[in-house]
Amino acid sequence: MSFWASLVVDFFVAMGMVLGGSLLGGLGAALLHAPPLAVMANLAEQLKIWAMVSALGGTMDTLKVIESGVLSRQLAPVGRQMTHLAAAFLGCQVGAALIRWLTAEGPKP
pLDDT tens string 37-96: 999 999 999 999 999 888 877 666 777 777 777 777 877 877 888 898 899 999 999 999
1-23 confidence digits (pLDDT tens): 888 998 999 999 999 999 999 99
Q: What is the pTM of this model?
A: 0.83
d(CA 46, CA 44) in angstroms, rounded, equals: 6
Distance between CA 50 and CA 34 in Å, rounded? 24
Task: Name residues whose C-beta falls within 8 Å of residue 79's C-beta, 6 or more positions apart in sequence.
Answer: none
85 CB contacts (<8 Å, ≥6 apart)? 52, 56, 62
